[in-house]
Amino acid sequence: MKSKICRSLKNAISFAMDQEKKARNFYLSCMERAINPGVRAFFKELAAEEAAHLKLLQETRLTGADTLAPSDVADYHLTEFMVDVQFTPEITYQEALVMAMKKEEKAYLFYSAWQGRCASEKISNVFGHLATEELKHKKKIEAIYDSEILQWD
């Protein structure tokens, strides 16, 4: 499988698009099934972020990957102290935040691993850029968790 994905930029982008579609569809499914309106809105926002990744990949497929490159993003590492949360329709906002952080962390690790597997610099940069984007999402959710959950008295 590695050789097929790393064989061309087109294959790498198609592979990444499939991953982003799965993530978007997961968040949309959670949005549709969640009971709490605030949690539904949160999942809708996450689905929109994944849709933005899809749009970026579609544009990259047309224009090439010359502008994509990984960048440094600080990681708060909050997820290292948390256990995975499974979705239920009754999921709380706090649980939804944890579930999303863990999902974004896994996506970051997934793309980081693929970044190191492909010899082509352009393909590696696509995966590195996606890893950076996932880490940015994780960091954003961690900041929300820190300010809205951990700061509670």
pLDDT of 24: 97
Supply the CATH number for residue 74's domain.
1.20.1260.10
DSSP 115-144: HTT---HHHHHHHHHHHHHHHHHHHHHHHH
Q: pLDDT by residue (tens digit) across 104-132?
A: 999 999 999 999 898 888 889 889 999 99
Each residue of 15-24: pLDDT tens digit? 999 999 999 9
At 42-88, the pLDDT tens digits run 999 999 999 999 998 998 887 876 666 677 777 778 888 899 999 99
**Based on the structure, what is the number of domains in the chain?**
1
The model carries a pTM of 0.88
The domain in which residue 75 lies consists of 2-150
Q: Are 71 and 131 in contact (CB under 8 A)?
A: no
